[in-house]
Amino acid sequence: MVIAIDGPAGAGKSTVARAVAQRLGFHFLDTGAMYRCVALAATESGLPAAEIARDARIALSGRVLLDGRDVTEAIRTPEVSAAASEVSTDQQVRDALVAQQQRLLSDGNWVAEGRDIATVVVPDAAVKVFLTADPQERARRRAVELDADVDTVLYELKRRDEQDEARQHSPLVRASDAVELDTTRLSSDEVVDHIVALAASAGVAR
Ligand code: DC
């Protein structure tokens, strides 16, 4: 059973998806962390990203482990964000990571978040949510998280949105049957309540 949460950077996916998983007793999968791991390893090693996506051992239980090394913080830098958006345009990288994601999600109850969960990874997900928020608000949230300048974050976020939406393979797009939730003026608790209610009406949760 999968609850799919997609949307652009800074829409609140990670915080909300994690909290929904906790409320329902589901596992949580942050697929963006996988693209970030591949980007970090490719930058460090100079090896082709597709090779890394096939061979690297990525473990996502709480901390993020890349071939046994804790990269939880290292994958959150602006450089890795940009590189992750770049490697995610490579179809071979996507094929390798999507196959791993599908294997994980085929067993048990999950909340999975990313850009293509409802469209490609699990098109028959029980609940599909597309989170959005004004770019200004998304940048403000990211700037607080990263302790960075809002205008710089806004510029990078818009560039990344454009790349994620314009790419040829699995672009960021709302699944036609996903519920769109604009989180600009909602607290994360309100968003979580909303998704839990959707899950309940889909018969996924109490
Ligand atoms: O969600 P995030 O910011 O951690 O994602 C990092 C990058 O990875 C993002 O720019 C797009 C890409 N990504 C993707 O293409 N497909 C996913 N399912 C998740 C992330």
Domains, the chain, ranges and CATH? 2-201 (3.40.50.300)
Residues 184-206, mean pLDDT to the nearest whole number: 92
**115 Cα to the center of ligand 1, angstroms:** 6
Q: List the one residue out of 191, 76, 79, 46 whose CA is nearest residue 145.
A: 76
In which region does residue 108 sit, left (phi positive, over 0), alpha (psi from -120 to 50) or beta (all else)? Answer: left
Q: Tell me, what's the pLDDT at 78?
A: 87
10 Å CB burial of residue 124 (0-12, 13-18, 19+) is: exposed
Task: Work out the number of other CB atoms within 10 angstroms of the CB of residue 66.
Answer: 23
| Whether residue 88 has its Cβ less than 6 Å from ligand 1 | yes
131 forms beta bridges with: 181
Q: Do residues 105 and 2 lie in contact, with contact meaning Cβ atoms separated by under 8 Å?
A: yes
pLDDT over 70 for what percent of the chain? Answer: 99
56-103 pLDDT, tens per residue? Answer: 999 998 899 999 999 999 999 989 999 999 999 999 999 999 999 999
| Whether residue 114 has its Cβ less than 6 Å from ligand 1 | yes
Q: Tell me, what's the pLDDT at 167?
A: 85
Residues 28-40, mean pLDDT to the nearest whole number: 97
Q: Tell me, what's the pLDDT at 41?
A: 98
Decide: pTM greater than 0.75: yes
What is the atom index within ligand 1 of the atom nearest the CA of 121? 18
Identify the residue whose C-alpha is closest to ligand 1 atom 16.
115
Indicate if the pLDDT at residue 206 is higher than 80: no
Of the listed ranges 129-133, 157-161, 198-202, the least confidently predicted one is 157-161
CA gap 152, 143 in Å, rounded: 9
Q: Tell me, what's the pLDDT at 60?
A: 94
Residues 155-164, mean pLDDT to the nearest whole number: 90
Q: Tell me, what's the pLDDT at 88?
A: 94
